[in-house]
Amino acid sequence: MALMLVKFDLKKRVKLAQTVWFMYWFAVMAGVLVFSMGLFFKIELRKRSELMDNNESHFLPNLLIVMGLITCGINAFGGKVCYDSLDPSKFVKWKPMLKSFLVVCVVLNGLLLVTTLLCFLMKIPLQFTLAEGLRNGMKYYKDTDTPGRCYMKRTLDLMQMEFRCCGNDQYRDWFEIQWVSNRYLDFSAKEVKDRISSNVDGQYLMDGVPFSCCNPSSPRPCIQLQMTNNSAYYSYDHYTEELNVWRRGCREALLSYYGGLMNTIGALVLLITMLEVSVTVGLQYVNSSLSTLVNPEDPESESEGWILEKTVKETFSDIMANMKAMGKGGKVDEGGDAPAES
């Protein structure tokens, strides 16, 4: 008993082939979409790789790019086969390889499903990479004269302005590191000497933040130095001041940005997987309907189409038997005709 048997006459076969051909064109464009999404994600990761210590994993965007290219190629080929299926003479040359092609399609669909899962799961390693990278980034903020790190200040400033965030978890992170380079500190001044002797590592720590933490929506000109000193500014209370600097941490901001991006990509790849499954099923119907013509000479005769020739259980046990037979290699076996069935 075949799985999901459908009867076909010539008109229905033609309609099926046309529909599946049309869907294959959508699937080719879907493949292009997957490729471009992988490329976009890769570029976004590269843009901020400095903030992730150049440590970020490019596995997911690379996988998306490769899957996109493979999907494009396979769908273009499938579309051509569908187009030729309307003409019996042309279809004959595709017939022998169609079964293996369908197996390849099924494997591809499985890989696409795995890619979808990865899109949702890869947020977790990304979170750790971001936390580590941002912490180091802030440490190197002042090193604008060290080759290899001289652009960290600009990168961090631009990132804080763009993502409207300050520090790793919050703005006080800047109080714990020295972000003013020693080149610009007057070591003969009393204030500098006091601050340096106030901590074990001899760092110039201050209760101030860089200008990129400032919030333009604040009604008051930005207060970025001596932030915890209420008497330094008129009518200022640092406990109640909310709009002065950005309150969100950059790790949270970047994570929500990349998380949103990966969720969108995952959802789109899921939709594309479903499209791929449906075109594979369609091609299987085309294949089976053209192989079971009642009268092989007459193209207008009736035929049947199915997804699987036997039930799921029987097909599965057939496959297992096949694999066992292949495993036994050239050994001559009494039940030698069993592997010949397909």
Partner 1 sequence: MLLKMNFTQQRRVRLAQGLWLLSWLAVMCGAFIFCLGVYLKTELIRRDEVMDNTEIHVVPNILMMVGLASIGTNWLASRVCQDSLDASRFPRWKVLLLAWFVVAALLCYMLIAVVVLSYALQGSLEESLKVGLRNGIRFYKDTDVPGRCFQKETIDRLQMEFRCCGNNNFKDWFEVQWVSNRYLDFTSKDVKDRIRSNVDGRYLLDGVPFSCCNPSSPRPCMRYHLTDNSAHYRYEYQAEELNLHSRGCRQALIDYYMGLLNSTGPGVISVILIQMSVLLSLRYLQTAVEGAMALEDPEGDSEGYLLEKGVKETIEDVKATVLNLLKFGQVDPSDAEESPVAADVDKAASPTPAS
Q: Where are the alpha helices (DSSP H) in the chain?
A: 10-47, 59-85, 88-121, 123-139, 152-163, 190-197, 250-291, 312-327
Q: Which of 7, 4, 31 is nearest to 311 (CA)?
A: 4
Among 43, 97, 158, 319, binds partner 1 (CB under 8 A): 158
CB atoms within 10 A of CB 202: 10
The residue range among 4-12, 87-95, 123-131, 185-193 that interacts with partner 1, by the rule CB under 8 A, is 185-193
Q: Does 217 bind partner 1 (CB under 8 A)?
A: yes
Q: How far is CA 293 from CA 10, 16, 290, in A?
A: 10, 15, 6
Minimum distance of partner 1 from residue 227's CB (angstroms): 14
Instruction: Tell me, rounded to whole angstroms, the distance of Cα 322 from its chain centroid.
Output: 37
Q: Tokens in use for 148?
A: 């290899």
The contact pattern for partner 1, residues 233-272, with x = CB under 8 A and - = no contact, is: xxx-------------------------------------
Residue 304's φ and ψ, nearest 5 degrees, are -120, 150
Site for partner 1 in 309-338 (CB under 8 A): none
Q: How far apart are CA 336 and CA 314, in angstroms?
A: 18
Only one residue has tokens 């001041």, namely 241
Task: Please state the closest distance from residue 213 (CB atom) to partner 1, in A.
Answer: 9
Q: How far is the CB of 197 from partner 1 (least distance, A)?
A: 18
Interface with partner 1 includes 222 (CB under 8 A)? yes
| Identity of the residue, 217 or 240, whose beta carbon is nearer to partner 1 in the bound complex | 217
Structure tokens at 63: 């996988």
User: With contact defined as beta carbons under 8 Å apart, do 30 and 275 qualify?
Assistant: yes
Tell which positions 161-180 bind partner 1, by CB under 8 A: 161, 179-180
Q: Which stretch binds partner 1 (CB under 8 A): 59-67, 208-216, 302-310, 322-330?
A: 208-216
Comparing CB distances to partner 1, the nearer of 50 and 276 is 50
In the complex with partner 1, the residue whose CB is nearer, 234 or 239, is 234
Q: Kindly state the helix (H) or strand (E) to which residue 304 belongs, with its residue range.
A: strand 303-305
Among 46, 220, 324, 328, binds partner 1 (CB under 8 A): 220
Strand partners, 7: 304
Cβ at position 224, least distance to partner 1 in Å = 7
Distance CA(58)–CA(65), nearest Å, equals: 11
Task: Return the bridge partners of 304, or none.
Answer: 7
Residue among 116, 123, 107 at smallest CA distance from 268: 116
Query: Would you count residue 54 as binding partner 1 (CB under 8 A)?
Result: no
Of the two residues 45 and 156, which places its CB atom closer to partner 1 in the complex? 156
Q: Please tell me whether residue 99 binds partner 1 under the rule CB under 8 A.
A: no
* 186 is an interface residue for partner 1 by CB under 8 A: yes
* Distance set, CA 84 to CA 6, 20, 94, 187, 312 (Å): 21, 12, 9, 83, 29
Q: How far is the CB of 284 from partner 1 (least distance, A)?
A: 39
From residue 18 to residue 47, the character string flagging contacts with partner 1 as x (rule: CB under 8 A) and all else as - is ------------------------------
Q: How far is the CB of 317 from partner 1 (least distance, A)?
A: 58
Residue 203 interacts with partner 1 (CB under 8 A): yes or no: no
Q: Kindly state the smallest distance separating residue 144's Cβ from partner 1, in Å.
A: 4
- Among 45-53, 132-140, 212-220, 251-259, which window interacts with partner 1 (CB under 8 A)? 212-220
Does residue 2 come out as left (phi exceeding 0), alpha (psi in the -120 to 50 range) or beta?
A: beta
Q: Which residues contact 82 (CB under 8 A, 6 or more apart)?
A: 17, 20, 21, 24, 283, 286
Q: Which residues of this protein are in contact with partner 1, per CB under 8 A?
A: 144-145, 150, 153-154, 157-158, 161, 179-181, 183-186, 189, 210-212, 214, 216-222, 224, 233-235
